[in-house]
Structure 1
Amino acid sequence: MSGIKLTSGENGGIASGGVTVREMTRLERIGAHSHIRGLGLDDSLDPRKCGSQGMVGQAKARRAVGVIYRMIAEGKIGGRAILLAGKPGTGKTAIAMGLAQQLGEDTPFTTMSGSEVFSLEMSKTEALTQALRRSIGIRILEETEVMEGEVVEIQIDTAFGGENKAGRAKGGMEKTGRLTLCTTDMETVYDLGTKMIEALSKEKITAGDVITIDKASGKITKLGRSFSRSRDYDAMGSTTRFVQCPEGELQKRKEVVHNVSLHEIDVINSRQQGFLALFAGDTGEIKSEVREQIDAKVVEWREEGRAKIVPGVLFIDEVHMLDMECFSFLNRALESDMAPVLVIATNRGISKIRGTEYKSPHGIPLDLLDRLMIVSTEPYSHDEVRKILSVRCEEEDVEMADDAMELLARIGIETSLRYAIHMIIASSLAATKRKSATVEIDDVKRVYRLFVDVKRSTQYLMEYNKEFMFNELDDRTTEYGVDNNNHHDGDEPVEGGVSGDMLMASSP
């Protein structure tokens, strides 16, 4: 079994003619929760203030999830289930993302939506099974012989081909070479073949690099540059990593750790080209016999000390979109010996279970609710909304005036936090249009008039409901605090919203 690692290449900066090309080390994309770096907890699991790791407010919920994190890290909570319940816009998904960041890359964390199982070309139970097995990591320990040292010199000779066994001249050119490796105690010269020369060229190995060579596979890994070459500025980049020259023998036995998920092992062993199916995503349905054999083998590896099971996390957002069959399957799957931690989130109150006429809290059957540890989220206060918007402005690199930030916070309280967050970049574009680097209150007002929130949109529907197709509302219907008999001008906020005096003081 071999691991695959995808890495991005390093491009050095180029300067010519007074124009500098900046080095691009990674491509960043600002997303809805890209500002989340963790749960923002200290060592005693108390929430830190001032937006630590991007988390604001929800102190009780973060502390509860912090306890869950500690139990996951210690491997004491496999097969448990946690429900994040709260009204929309109270940070349920943000807390789940914070848990994922806190656990790190070594712990599998799978995210899916409740409605996702109905859009895949496989059965619902198969989709959930694959998601569960993606969330269970296997840490395989393997001992291998490696050569580790600092590259002193690489010498490559090119010669025309000689004669073959029939005495005829061979075409093409042959490459031979020598590699000099050293540690603090010894130095050795190795002869290189064509494949090793190509591998060294592909990894761009030069004198001064510290490398490891797997003797079994011939794989070359670049650990960094030796500290003795730290003054070679022509061979440095902004991401250059410096390491010490290895000590002791050049050849040594090393323990290599391969981190894979159960689903990856399933796919590789279930299809003729299963390894490629991991990239294509066309895994199809996997036979239960294959999974049973793999589970037995993993248990055998664990008993021999060759593998360790790492229970990860499966996060299902909008879990109320699942139906009774899916809930029953999850109920049974949590009793498995190798079940991950199940974290689910919903914003529903007492509602119908999908596909049935039965009502239940959060739209989840009572037998599954009995298994859940429920974490409630509370509405944000005005100061917390303002701090969240400030964190988002920092993430999106937007300068905002204090009065504009105060107005945006009031909009977030009266409408929704998501709507206020969406207004940040739009207000920034409005400020850029008038050639200003700072978002002013007039920019926020302009965007507020251009993009309506759900309350004003509902009020508009109530006012013009007779002109829309398939209208099913009667004159007595009230929703979102909007009465069909109480009409407002289309440019004014609805009753209970942000005051018109603040928003309509100036024209766009």
Structure 2
Amino acid sequence: MVAKPSDPPKSPLKPRSHSHHQTMSINLTTTQTVRELTRLERIGAHSHIRGLGLNDGLEARAGSQGMVGQEGARRAVGVVSRMIEEGKIGGRAILLAGKPGTGKTAIAMALSRQLGESTPFTSMSASEVFSLEMSKTEALTQALRKSIGIQILEETEVMEGEVVEVQIDTVAKKGGMEKTGRLTLCTTDMETVYDLGTKMIDMLSKEKITAGDVITIDKASGKITKLGRSFSRSRDYDAMGSTTRFVQCPEGELMKRKEVVHNVSLHEIDVINSRQQGFLALFAGDTGEIKSEIREQIDAKVVEWKEEGRAKIIPGVLFIDEVHMLDMECFSFLNRALESDMAPVLVIATNRGIAKIRGTEYKSPHGIPLDLLDRLMIISTEPYTHDEIRKILAVRCEEEDVEMADDALELLARIGMETSLRYAIHMIITSSLAAEKRKSSQVEIEDIKRVYKLFVDVKRSTQYLMEYNKEFMFNELDEEDDFGMVDTEKEGASPGKDEMETSP
């Protein structure tokens, strides 16, 4: 029996005409849309840097891996990187010294990228030592121990495969509701269905495991680790985060005997063994000061593991920027710390010349005591040339996805030479917004001029202060003081209004 459709309700409004019947034909066409897979990554000050840009002979390649210029400094840091990878330079210290805006921090970030994620790299500013709620030496000790990695080797039985299906059901019982579930795992050779208990169901929900994930399950502890998404599911999403990993579907048997490597730092082991809440203190940030006795016991245990072949020590890198902000006590502590067996490679950077050591009246090169300077391998950075600044700006335009005309880029390079590279880099995105305002797809000279008038650089700001200093509050400027300003008429400190109007 097929039910007949009921007659439609009669409309109270009469149709205008009954004589014409209109027939509509609809052609349905199937269209396929191809969407590009994009990565969502944050643009930072040094996000364009991928490495040192050196070949196998440690020769600097032009404009490689985001690095431009500073070929001598890059080659020197390349030698340091090679020695770190071979484990031959622990406890050494390197000083990056040069004028502001010559790429010292960029070289340090390039060293971090070159070494990879397996080598610990800790970056900090010297002023952080004074802002933490602990003693200066404790803050430096924690930073040093964060930079020393420990690879703990452990052999265990695991199940490794791609999740085909996760089925979780809720069943009503006398005591209440109870969850039951089934997990289907597969490799390239086999597929198996497992019944899940309540604990495993909770762990799957916590890790947000879905079909297409490649996971490992530790047989002893039941711990679930997500290795990534299967390549077969790479087209499921239009966009993905920078942390999304795609891996191949495992081969062979589901049950495997694997050597698991746990990467931790000495500082993490210190915190876990010194706080009641264990590793949760790492997330809370409430590490506090750690007793030296605990550290001595941990060091002895790590050496014991190393001798048994259960652990491997990886000396990393501690990078301290603006190192002239440290005082005499900190420098003295670093002197002693570099002589320790458990010492990472120390890379420090400063832009000071002959300056006072903080907290004293003594002057020293770079504001660093002579006894510590004697231990340092010093790498100098040189000012960028016009062509190098143009290349750096071109790289930043590409990184920030800004289309810029050639003559506008040339003008921006001139501004970078006459003001500072940082100021020119800041003008890229602001001039791009100015171009969008006038409905233009690329930045022209007029956008650069507009932004140049809106945002002043340090030299023009200082010149303004010099002219109107009496109108500002708390003015203590003497007539003889010039703050190192050069005569703009003689030197052309920055392009003036007239020059901007006649720029190419």
Please, what TM-score do these two structures have when normalized by structure 2? 0.85
Structure 1 residue 310 displacement after superposition: 0.7
Q: Is the 8 A contact 2:39 2:239 kept in 1?
A: no
Structure 1 residue 213 displacement after superposition: 1.5
Q: Is 1:84 matched with 2:89?
A: no
Pairs within 5 Å for 1:482-501? 482=486, 495-498=492-495, 500-501=497-498
Identify which of 54, 60, 64 aligns with 1:41.
54
Q: Is the 8 A contact 1:86 1:377 kept in 2?
A: yes
Q: Is the 8 A contact 2:37 2:239 kept in 1?
A: no
Identify which of 309, 320, 336 aligns with 1:305.
309
Identify which of 107, 110, 121 aligns with 2:133.
121
Q: Is 1:243 matched with 2:248?
A: yes
Aligned equivalents of 1:419, 1:237: Cα separation in 2: 33
Structure 1 residue 196 displacement after superposition: 2.1
Paired residue secondary structure (1:89): coil
1:385-434 CA distance string (max 9 Å, x none): 00001111111111111111111111111111111111111111111111
After superposition, the Cα gap between the structure-2 partners of 1:124 and 1:447, relative to the gap in structure 1 and judged at 3 Å, is: same
Paired residue secondary structure (2:49): coil
Structure 1 residue 267 displacement after superposition: 0.9
Pairs within 5 Å for 1:364-403? 364-403=368-407
Structure 1 residue 195 displacement after superposition: 1.9
Structure 1 residue 175 displacement after superposition: 3.5
Identify which of 42, 53, 59 aligns with 2:71.
59
Paired residue secondary structure (2:153): strand
Structure 1 residue 114 displacement after superposition: 1.3
- Could you say which residue in structure 2 is the equivalent of 1:4? none
After superposition, the Cα gap between the structure-2 partners of 1:99 and 1:179, relative to the gap in structure 1 and judged at 3 Å, is: same
Structure 1 residue 480 displacement after superposition: 3.4
Structure 1 residue 29 displacement after superposition: 2.3
Q: What's the C-alpha RMSD, in Å, of the aligned pairs?
A: 2.9
Paired residue secondary structure (1:438): coil
Structure 1 residue 217 displacement after superposition: 1.5
Aligned equivalents of 1:71, 1:326: Cα separation in 2: 27
After superposition, the Cα gap between the structure-2 partners of 1:41 and 1:235, relative to the gap in structure 1 and judged at 3 Å, is: closer
Aligned equivalents of 1:184, 1:403: Cα separation in 2: 56
Structure 1 residue 26 displacement after superposition: 6.4
Letter in 1 for 2:251: P
Aligned equivalents of 2:467, 2:190: Cα separation in 1: 86
After superposition, the Cα gap between the structure-2 partners of 1:197 and 1:495, relative to the gap in structure 1 and judged at 3 Å, is: closer
Aligned equivalents of 2:267, 2:441: Cα separation in 1: 49
Segments of 5+ residues of structure 2 without an aligned counterpart are 1-30
- Could you say which residue in structure 1 is the equivalent of 2:340? 336
- Could you say which residue in structure 2 is the equivalent of 1:30? 43
Identify which of 261, 269, 274 aligns with 2:278.
274
Structure 1 residue 273 displacement after superposition: 1.5
1:236-259 CA distance string (max 9 Å, x none): 9976835244214x4332111111
Aligned equivalents of 1:261, 1:399: Cα separation in 2: 43
Aligned equivalents of 2:473, 2:432: Cα separation in 1: 36
Q: Is the 8 A contact 1:458 1:480 kept in 2?
A: no
Q: Is the 8 A contact 2:214 2:226 kept in 1?
A: yes
After superposition, the Cα gap between the structure-2 partners of 1:459 and 1:148, relative to the gap in structure 1 and judged at 3 Å, is: closer
- Could you say which residue in structure 2 is the equivalent of 1:74? 86
After superposition, the Cα gap between the structure-2 partners of 1:291 and 1:477, relative to the gap in structure 1 and judged at 3 Å, is: same
Q: Is the 8 A contact 1:223 1:243 kept in 2?
A: no
Q: Is the 8 A contact 2:162 2:249 kept in 1?
A: no
1:428-464 CA distance string (max 9 Å, x none): 1111111212111111111111111111111111111
The structure having more radius of gyration, on CA atoms, is: 2
Paired residue secondary structure (1:139): strand
Aligned equivalents of 1:200, 1:372: Cα separation in 2: 51
Q: Is the 8 A contact 2:151 2:263 kept in 1?
A: yes
Letter in 2 for 1:457: S
Segments of 5+ residues of structure 1 without an aligned counterpart are 1-17, 162-169
After superposition, the Cα gap between the structure-2 partners of 1:24 and 1:268, relative to the gap in structure 1 and judged at 3 Å, is: farther
Alignment size in residue pairs: 468
Q: Is the 8 A contact 1:135 1:311 kept in 2?
A: yes
Paired residue secondary structure (1:478): coil
Paired residue secondary structure (2:258): strand
Identify which of 321, 328, 331 aligns with 1:324.
328
Q: Is 1:358 matched with 2:362?
A: yes
Q: Is 1:145 matched with 2:157?
A: yes
After superposition, the Cα gap between the structure-2 partners of 1:263 and 1:242, relative to the gap in structure 1 and judged at 3 Å, is: closer
- Could you say which residue in structure 1 is the equivalent of 2:225? 221
Paired residue secondary structure (1:397): coil
Paired residue secondary structure (1:400): coil
Aligned equivalents of 1:345, 1:240: Cα separation in 2: 34
Structure 1 residue 201 displacement after superposition: 4.7
Aligned equivalents of 1:291, 1:384: Cα separation in 2: 47
Q: Is 1:289 matched with 2:289?
A: no
After superposition, the Cα gap between the structure-2 partners of 1:211 and 1:467, relative to the gap in structure 1 and judged at 3 Å, is: closer
Pairs within 5 Å for 1:97-246? 97-149=109-161, 158-161=170-173, 170-179=174-183, 181=185, 190-203=194-207, 210-223=214-227, 230=232, 241=246, 243-246=248-251
Q: Is the 8 A contact 1:210 1:226 kept in 2?
A: yes
1:251-310 CA distance string (max 9 Å, x none): 332111111111111111111113222112121111111111111111111111111111
- Could you say which residue in structure 2 is the equivalent of 1:165? none
Q: What's the % identity of the aligned pairs? A: 83
Identify which of 59, 84, 108 aligns with 1:96.
108
Aligned equivalents of 1:504, 1:146: Cα separation in 2: 70
